[in-house]
Amino acid sequence: MYQTYSIKDVAAYFDISISSIRFYDKNGLLPFVSKNESGHRVFTESDMNFIHTICCLKNTGMPIKDIKRYIQLCMNGPNSISERKTMLQEHKAHVLREQEKLQENLKEIDIKIARYDSKDATSIIQAQIQYVAAEKKAHDMPNPFHV
């Protein structure tokens, strides 16, 4: 027998709100979801797979309009494979660029943490404050520090 899920089940499984699922539905991202006689959404295993993809695309920064386009292409069957592949390749390239930016930002965070872990942290920070204060003073600007 095939398993079905309620909107509450789906929300819990994907750790998203019920209102997010309704938002996705209202914005055309869930054309594959059926409603029962009472008008409640009923989700199947294959619906869950589509929702997993939607969450993945959203979590990696794809705009809702592009996710909607991707889902529409999926609903068109095999005729849209090439276009779907192109969309995903372009999105992957975007995600990889964002990942590189995050990696660079993590390096800066690691530098700061290492500085604060240093036994000389206090003297390093005091020297930085003195430098900034002198720089600001040289330009007739106020010292931003409260020390």
* Residue 1 pLDDT: 77
pTM (predicted TM-score): 0.81
* Residue 147 pLDDT: 83
Beta-carbon contacts of residue 119 (< 8 Å; ≥ 6 apart): none
Residue 35 backbone phi and psi in degrees, to 5: -120, 150
Amino acid at 73: L
* Residue 2 pLDDT: 87
Q: Which long-range contacts (CB under 8 A, 24 or more apart) does 14-17 make?
A: 14/51, 14/52, 14/55, 16/55
Amino acid at 39: G
3-state secondary structure of 74: helix
Euclidean distance between CA atoms 53 and 51, whole angstroms:
5
Any alpha helices (H) in 3-147, and if so which ranges? 7-14, 18-26, 45-59, 64-75, 81-117, 121-138
Residues of the chain with confidence (pLDDT) below 50? none
* Residue 116 pLDDT: 97
